[in-house]
Amino acid sequence: MAARKTTTRKTSPKPKPCADCKNAGQTSEIFQVGGRTKHDSADKQEALCLTCWGTGEAPAT
């Protein structure tokens, strides 16, 4: 009888975190307010990271 071979599982490498959003999937942006003369608001709003599309993982190149 032949000896039984053991097999190992192949694990996929962990994806790298997105550099723009720091693995959060969102970025905060300053927005402008005002009618005619626009000025920056002191508040910030959350926006979807356009590099990783909200996944938090670096895009595959």
Q: Report which of 4, 2, 51 is spatially closest to residue 26, judged by C-alpha positions.
A: 51
First to last CA, the chain: 48
C-alpha–C-alpha distance, residues 18 and 58, integer Å: 4
Cβ neighbours for 48, distance < 8 A, ≥ 6 positions apart = 25, 26, 27, 54
List per-residue pLDDT tens for the chain, 61 residues long: 678 888 888 887 888 888 888 888 888 888 888 888 888 888 888 888 888 887 888 877 6
Residue 52 burial by Cβ neighbours in a 10 Å radius (0-12, 13-18, 19+): buried
Indicate the pTM of the whole model. 0.49
Task: Please report, for the chain, the start and end positions of each structural domain, with discontinuous segments joined by +.
Answer: 17-31+43-61
